[in-house]
Amino acid sequence: MEEPTFPETLKELLAELQKPYKEQIKELSKPFWDALAKESDRAIAIIAACLLDNLLEKLIRTSYIKDPQVRYLFKNDRILQTFFSKINIAYFSGLIPKFVYHDLKLICEIRNKFAHSITANLTFTESSIVQRINSFELRPKTLDKVAAPKIKFIIVVQQIVTLLGYWEHFLSKAKLPNLVELLKLNKFPFEELALTKDEIYEVLRGTSPYLKDS
């Protein structure tokens, strides 16, 4: 009997992990779907960005080492406090693919447009917002000529919510080692590589003009 290939094994693993996740995705999306029935376009855009921001934070935290200090990276005025910074860190850390990175940046721009506009009745039909929505990689192309911009926005957001939530779920179950764990750097006898007193003095003599004649 042939051993299963890596793709087959991975496919089975993904299928197994998806079983308990289907209910979880409903809970993740509930605040967003609740907002659709009663909120304005402005509120929908801002709530969507908040939901994605939270999911990105969970994904990033899951990929980081288990250290209580990690939470401070996401506090006010810290490097991962903003939605945009989380998008960039997730992409450059290899946690999200380029097409999701592209669409998240557009969602961030749409969110900022709604959040900072003084126009009271701003909607998804505003030309600059429509242009961004029509640039989504994940938008359903078959709906380009028939669906309203808001519908396309909602569909893209829901797809990204599903992807981010599932990737975080998968990453938490996979328990992949980081570089320190992989190379066992915390257990490496670095003191054996330390310079002796004579070697340190030679380095200083070579780099400091004050020691060369002493």
Residue ranges of domains in the chain: 6-178
Cα 78 from Cα 105, distance rounded (Å): 20
Lowest mean pLDDT among 10-14, 161-165, 192-196, 205-209: 10-14
Tokens 């490496």 belong to which residue?
A: 188
Compute the residue count for the chain.
214
* pTM for the predicted model, two decimal places: 0.74
Q: Mean pLDDT over residues 157-182, rounded?
A: 84
Q: Mean pLDDT over residues 139-145, rounded?
A: 79
Cα 115 from Cα 46, distance rounded (Å): 7
If one looks up domain 6-178 in CATH, what number appears? 1.20.120.330
Q: Mean pLDDT over residues 115-124, rounded?
A: 86
Cα 139 from Cα 144, distance rounded (Å): 8
Q: Mean pLDDT over residues 159-164, rounded?
A: 88
